[in-house]
Amino acid sequence: MLWQLTERHEEDCCAVRGRQGKDRPYVYCESTSFQTDPRESRGDGDYHRQDSKLNRPEELPWDVVDRCLLPVLTAHAVAVILAFVLNTLRISQVSSWTLFFWFTSITLATLWFYHNLHVTAAGKAVLVTGADNRLGQIIVRQLDELGFTVFAGMRSPSCPEAGRLKEQCSGRLHVVQLDVTSEKDILAARDYVVGNLPQGSEGLWAVVNNEQWAAFGEVEWVPLPVFREATEVNLLGTIRVSQVFLPLVRKVKGRVVNVVSILGHMTAPLQAPYCTAKYAVEAFSDCLRAEMRRWGVDVVVVEPGDYTTGKLWYDDSKMLQQAKDMWEAMPDEARQDYGEHYFEYTVRRTLEPYTKGTDTDMAPVTRSLQDAVCRTFPLQRYTAVTRAEKIRALVLNHLPRSVHDVLYP
């Protein structure tokens, strides 16, 4: 099996050295049950040089585009209609392009002014769940540097990550034990937050639901407890934390920020447990946003791209152990139908881009999270994704579903 391979076996069987693309052709190696690209087997020098320099598509913050696109399109439509009316009634011979220029200039100037308004951090408190993961560590440090009082929720306050945060942050940081699947921890965390709010503060400015749990595998392989764990952490934990802390958020007309993923907006093979839970978090966020509007509370969704999601939540050793557990739990009939060759190749293909690929740039995601907390008028959704993912999301949102299904089968 894949998790039993030794270095000697990998040397004997032309192990996969590059990041295996999902659609790259492959052949079975005789001495093992995983596969490799035939270009690699024939020693194609150009292929190796290209593969060694291959970089993942860059993920970008699209907040300015998202904020300006619809107003600019509206300005264009208004300019065309108004020019037609004025010319038809012979009131003026102004062109639609002239009107479009002026409408767009005024619109963009107004948007830019509101886009750059920030709240004052002094005297405001923020709760961040999942502060012991990589993304949580970064956003906690950034918010602390901006002057917020940060409550960093961790499963274990005695973990090494907690010690590092205490060393790197100011005295405003509070490390709180918070397992989002534990009702006792959630209620205790609320009581602690209430008792340690900044002087003069009546509530909590923001709740950042950042706790994540990822799993992979085809649906038929994944045991039900894995789906249940993904649901309890990613969905039910987000819901319960939001329920408990909403009264504090409503008092100061703050905001709830849910870290989701682009996989909560579009599906990907082999990630059904994660996609299922994140789709539900998207729906929960939309419902909560509609309900909280009357209270002046913003509900913001931050969607990192697929690659960033994998680099953040996939761990090589944990995923290989999960693969072993899945294989042992599969019925004999399923094992025979899929076979070890296909199973092991799929495991390697799934993990390699995330565990062996180049490190991801966290700046677009952390900037989106910081904007979600700090902007006076935040967007409803921040998508720190690649160009290809953004185009696919636009197709999915604004064109008939049949068009998306043809372009992305």
Residue type, 336: Q
3-state secondary structure labels for all residues of 159-209: CHHHHHHHHHCCCCCEEEECCCCCHHHHHHHHHHHHHCCCCCCCCCCEEEE
Structure tokens at 184: 């006792």
Structure tokens at 328: 């042992």
The 8-class DSSP code of residue 263 comes to G
Query: Of 263, 268, 266, 277, whose CA–CA distance to 309 is shortest?
Result: 263
Instruction: Determine the Cα–Cα distance for residues 395 and 52; give it in Å rounded to an integer.
Output: 32
Place of tokens 């729906």: 283
The dihedral region occupied by 88, where left means phi > 0, alpha psi between -120 and 50, and beta the remainder, is alpha
Choosing from 274, 307, 345, 382, the catalytic residue is: 274
Would residue 345 show up in a list of annotated catalytic residues for this protein? no
Q: Tell me how many helices (H) and strands (E) the chain has.
A: 17, 10
Structure tokens at 51: 């593969």
Phi and psi at residue 223, to the nearest 5°: -65, 155
Beta bridge partners of 149: 125
- The number of C-alpha atoms within 13 Å of 34 and in the hemisphere containing its C-beta is 24
Active-site annotation, residues: 274
